[in-house]
């Protein structure tokens, strides 16, 4: 027998690789990387979220107020009575008439999408209609990206997070089986994670327990409670800075070994933070998250470096989830659940059973047909087909891909394409044998003649699958992924692998036994 060639060695290596790395998924063992089953196969959580876009508008106005304060302080423009009115506009008053022109120019340059009106030294700033609409759309898209990042960082495999319609968000998370997991995911998704560092109004804070919200508002302040004790704080409504200047957040431990969250500010945030603490020694600054005060330490000295800590008697899991939310960024506007549905695992089990039966039955019928119609050539094609299946499972396992019902359809379709490639090759070989060509020449020319047709079909399908993966979501991505992996595996097994096996077995192929080897009648050969 002819010695092994590089094609058959490559195919053997691919087959062993496929078998070894498919085992954890096939046996569902605890060790090794496995394919993750999608929502339709293992059950999970389906939610349709709405978004309170009006809050995004209010946050944008508040951010504009903080920007005005920062810009004017930086340019040493003296102003007073900076306020946010009904979440729709900000007002302030300059104290020097000579600064009016300079202030107008700065506002026009720094605050895009705004309408600035001044009556003498009194200014009001509102957003244009176009800016309001852009802010709403940004809030939805930002929520989609943020929720997706949070779920990915949480370690969930291929959750579906997509904008649906004009103002809704679809979230599907496979593998959520308990009420506790579901509650934790819902809290992680819905958490605004709106971080603010706010100055305590030390002059009036002593009266906070007797002060109404309206009175606090008249001073440009807000009253917020401590997250643990419920103690009230009177804080300046315009924050010193917010979470948009945060670059990292991670869990740490304090001197008492209690979980805390350490976060780092970007360059601009670190400068603002350092400047503020430098002029506020002896006063307090509150770390506020989602309108709750987590700590309000006294500033003892200027704090440079932009490193800040949140302590709040956290559980480890709570601190971990909060750090994920902070790293992923705050939601510009809160989301709320419009529709929630838990997909039970029993439905997934039924789907797996039905799909598996279809896959196995179709595979067996194809195997029998190939052997009956093509003889040994059919067996060689079936070996390639089995190798193809193992390769698909192995590669999906290594990447931790999610298998959904459409993904299983992709595998079935790929199997069909792999069989089709082998049928084309076998028919070309048979045609050449009928013409009286030698077995060796028939095999070589058969592969050459069939290659172009197989290559064109696979490449065009691969392009379509790539586009599907790029623009699709969830199950569509899963379908495109299995298709892409299957096509590449098919090219390796159906073209390279079977060609190598034929070359290896060539000395054994007897032209007088063509019916056995290729399923053709010898008397029909020229």
Q: What's the pLDDT score for residue 17?
A: 92
Mean pLDDT of the chain: 82
Instruction: Quote the CA–CA distance of 359 and 349 in Å, as a whole number.
Output: 15
Q: What's the pLDDT score for residue 223?
A: 92
Q: Give the pairing type, strands 402-403 and 36-37.
A: parallel
Strands, E assignment, 154-273: 160-164, 168-174, 195-199, 221-225, 232-236, 241-242, 246-253, 259-265
* pTM over cut 0.75: no
Residue 351 pLDDT more than 70?
no
Six-digit token pair at 138?
């940004």
**3-state DSSP call for residue 286?**
strand
Task: Point out which residues pair with 179 in neighbouring strands.
Answer: none
Q: What is the mean pLDDT of residues 304-322?
A: 73
Tell me which DSSP letter residue 226 carries: B
- CA distances to 162, 176, 314, 448 from 323, in Å: 23, 21, 11, 58
Of the listed ranges 56-70, 130-144, 153-167, 235-249, the least confidently predicted one is 153-167
Which of 294, 330, 325 lies closest to 312, judged by CA?
294
Whether the Cβ atoms of residue 265 and residue 273 lie closer than 8 Å to each other: yes
**3-state DSSP call for residue 35?**
coil
Q: What's the pLDDT score for residue 358?
A: 75
Tens digit of each residue's pLDDT (9 = 90 or more) over 412-431? 888 888 888 888 998 999 88
Residues with Cβ within 8 Å of 472's Cβ and at least 6 positions away in sequence, in order, are: 479, 480
**Phi/psi of residue 261, nearest 5 degrees:** -120, 120
Q: What's the pLDDT score for residue 380?
A: 92
Tens digit of each residue's pLDDT (9 = 90 or more) over 393-412? 898 888 777 777 777 778 88
Residue 347 pLDDT more than 70?
no
Cα dihedral value 372, 377, 382, 385, nearest 10: -140
For the chain, give me the number of helices (H) and strands (E)?
16, 19
């Amino acid at each position: 027998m002819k010695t092994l060639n590089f094609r058959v060695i490559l195919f053997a290596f691919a087959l062993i690789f496929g078998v070894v790395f498919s085992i954890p998924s096939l046996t569902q063992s605890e060790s090794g990387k496995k394919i993750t089953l999608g929502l339709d196969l293992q059950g999970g959580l389906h939610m349709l979220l709405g978004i309170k876009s009006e809050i995004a508008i209010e946050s944008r106005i508040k951010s504009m107020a903080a920007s005005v304060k920062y810009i004017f302080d930086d340019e040493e423009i003296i102003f007073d009575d900076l306020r946010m009115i009904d979440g729709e506009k900000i007002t302030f008053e300059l104290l020097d008439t000579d600064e009016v022109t300079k202030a107008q120019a700065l506002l026009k340059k720094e605050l895009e999408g705004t309408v600035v009106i001044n009556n003498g030294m009194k200014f009001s700033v509102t957003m244009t209609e176009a800016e309001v609409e852009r802010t709403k759309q940004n809030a939805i898209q930002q929520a989609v990206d943020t929720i997706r990042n949070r779920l990915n960082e949480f370690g969930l495999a291929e959750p579906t997070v997509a904008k649906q319609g004009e103002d809704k968000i679809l979230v599907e998370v496979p593998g959520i089986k308990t009420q506790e997991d579901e509650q934790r995911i819902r809290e992680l998704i819905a958490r605004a994670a709106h971080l603010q560092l706010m100055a305590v109004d030390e002059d009036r804070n002593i009266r906070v327990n007797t002060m109404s919200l309206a009175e606090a508002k008249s001073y440009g302040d807000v009253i917020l409670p401590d997250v643990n004790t419920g103690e009230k704080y009177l804080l300046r409504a315009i924050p010193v800075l917010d979470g948009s200047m945060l670059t990292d957040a991670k869990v740490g431990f304090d001197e008492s070994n209690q979980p805390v969250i350490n976060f780092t500010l970007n360059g601009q945030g670190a400068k603002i933070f350092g400047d503020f603490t430098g002029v506020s020694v002896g006063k307090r600054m509150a770390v506020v998250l989602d309108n709750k005060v987590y700590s309000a330490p006294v500033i003892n000295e200027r704090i440079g470096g932009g490193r800040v800590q949140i302590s709040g008697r956290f559980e480890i899991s709570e601190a971990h989830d909060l750090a994920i939310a902070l790293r992923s960024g705050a939601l510009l506007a809160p989301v709320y659940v419009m529709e929630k549905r838990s997909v039970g695992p029993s439905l997934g089990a039924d789907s797996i059973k039905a799909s598996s039966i279809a896959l196995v039955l179709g595979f067996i019928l194809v195997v029998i047909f190939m052997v009956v119609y093509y003889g040994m050539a059919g067996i060689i094609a079936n070996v390639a087909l089995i190798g193809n299946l193992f390769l698909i499972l192995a590669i999906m396992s290594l990447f931790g891909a999610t298998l959904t019902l459409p993904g299983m359809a992709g595998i079935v379709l790929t199997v069909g394409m792999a069989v089709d490639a082998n049928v084309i090759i076998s028919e070309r070989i048979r045609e050449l044998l009928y013409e009286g060509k030698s077995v060796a020449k028939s095999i070589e020319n058969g592969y050459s003649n069939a290659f172009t047709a197989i290559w064109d079909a696979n490449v065009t399908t691969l392009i379509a699958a790539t586009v599907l993966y790029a623009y699709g979501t969830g199950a569509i991505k899963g379908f495109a992924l299995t298709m892409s992996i299957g096509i590449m595996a098919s090219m390796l097994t159906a073209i390279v692998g079977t060609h190598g096996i034929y070359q290896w077995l060539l000395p054994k192929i007897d032209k007088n036994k063509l019916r056995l080897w290729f399923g053709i009648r010898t008397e029909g050969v020229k």
